[in-house]
Structure 1
Amino acid sequence: MTTLRTERPTVRARSGRRPLPPLIFLLVLGLVAAGVWWNVFRQDAELQAEQDAACETAEPAPAALDPATVSVRVFNASDQAGIAQAVKENLGARGFTIAEVANDPTGREVTGVGEVRHGVGGKSTAAFLALYLPGADLYQDVRATQQVDLVLGPDFVIGESLATDEAVDAALAEAEEAANAC
């Protein structure tokens, strides 16, 4: 005959001690995790602020124009003879409409490789033309037309200073990508 046991086994009495080391470990782990997340959110906010500031000061990407629609006057403001004619032939071969070739009639001092002069209506045209002369400054004057002046400075070097069509296309693509990032 089998007997059924109805009594439960005795349970050990608690000693009254709390598991303090595991609780301390969990608390420290929670603090470290909170610190890491706080740092991540702070860095993200800083990066977002930097990007917003960069986008506020960024100029719009120059429009890719058909060179045949751009009327350019090429002026020589340097001591080198014949560079305006050489640039006229180069830009003409690329499809630009060359309206005039001469020495700079304004007497304005030009530094570096040159500058692109334009009126209010020719700002986008000037930005496009400036891609062909890297390092050129943009100068806005009071003209009302979209015609732009490409003024060659003392640092202009024939065969080196004008950008290739591939370099212009790459600069347009890069500017468009940067504008899209904003």
Structure 2
Amino acid sequence: MTTLRTDSPAVRARSGRRPLPPIVFLLVLGLIAGGVWWNVFRQDAARQAEQDAACAEAEAAPQALDPATVSVRVFNASDQGGLAQSVADDLGARGFTIAEVANDNSGREVTGVGEVRHGVGGKSTAAFLALYLPGATLWQDVRSTQQVDLVLGPEFVIGESLAPDDVVNAALDDAEQASADC
């Protein structure tokens, strides 16, 4: 009988290696890379949220106004006599237009150093005036004018409660800088 002879080499026996360890290694490496990217995206989202919050706060900050364009009625809601006139004189010296000085007869209870009352049209004017009375609360009523009322409360102290012009200007500069950064 004749035997067939081929010139091809004999089939190599399969080695005992399995492809599983390299596949597991690649999967673990992929998970680590995915975790790093996830962390980067989360940090970017947090940074963007902080930036958006800062910009929203900057937009809500009071705008610098010429005090001569601000018409203020000063009311005394405390037991200290002459308080409204004293504050009106101080604000007038700073350039504000004083429309009226009287005791508060609105019946609304005022606590703290005071309250700045305003209508929808006077919101920015009230925010500007509130810079001069730190701790004052803003209260919106139904008036349609830009006139604001400064109602002095029982905790108001003559010579201490009104902010100096340099403090107000610094607050306005900070607000302007924050707005420019957005």
Deviates more, 1:101-110 or 1:169-178: 169-178
Alignment of 1:145-156 (within 5 A): 145-156=145-156
Gaps of 5+ in 2: 1-24
Does 2:102 correspond to 1:111?
no
1:64 offset after TM fit, Å? 1.1
Corresponding residue pairs, total:
168
Does 2:133 correspond to 1:133?
yes
Root-mean-square deviation (Å): 3.0
What is aligned with 1:17? none
Alignment of 1:69-80 (within 5 A): 69-80=69-80
1:169 offset after TM fit, Å? 0.6
Q: Quick one: distance in 2 between partners of 1:56 and 1:64?
A: 17
1:180 offset after TM fit, Å? 3.2
Q: Quick one: distance in 2 between partners of 1:52 and 1:98?
A: 38
Deviates more, 1:143-152 or 1:46-55: 46-55
Does 2:122 correspond to 1:122?
yes
Q: Quick one: distance in 2 between partners of 1:58 and 1:172?
A: 10
1:87 offset after TM fit, Å? 0.4
Q: Quick one: distance in 1 between partners of 2:75 and 2:163?
A: 18
Does 2:175 correspond to 1:178?
no
1:58 offset after TM fit, Å? 6.0
Deviates more, 1:158-167 or 1:56-65: 56-65
Q: Quick one: distance in 2 between partners of 1:64 and 1:53?
A: 21
Q: Quick one: distance in 1 between partners of 2:53 and 2:97?
A: 38
Q: Quick one: distance in 2 between partners of 1:132 and 1:154?
A: 17
What is aligned with 1:87? 87
The Cα offsets for residues 15-72 of structure 1, whole Å up to 9 and x where unpaired, read as xxxxxxxxxx999888766644542332121221243345456652322111111111
Q: Quick one: distance in 1 between partners of 2:143 and 2:31?
A: 65
Deviates more, 1:137-146 or 1:50-59: 50-59
Query: Are the structure 2 counterparts of residues 27 and 144 from structure 1 closer, same or farther at C-alpha, using a change threshold of 3 Å?
Result: closer
Query: Are the structure 2 counterparts of residues 81 and 142 from structure 1 closer, same or farther at C-alpha, using a change threshold of 3 Å?
Result: same
Taking only the aligned residue pairs, the percentage that are identical comes to 81
Deviates more, 1:26-35 or 1:110-119: 26-35
SS at structure 2 position matched to 1:39: helix
Contact 1:62 1:127 in 2 (8 A): yes
Gaps of 5+ in 1: 1-24
Q: Quick one: distance in 2 between partners of 1:51 and 1:137?
A: 27
SS at structure 1 position matched to 2:60: coil
TM-score, structure 2 as length reference = 0.76
SS at structure 1 position matched to 2:68: helix
Letter in 2 for 1:155: E
Letter in 2 for 1:72: V
Q: Quick one: distance in 1 between partners of 2:36 and 2:155?
A: 53
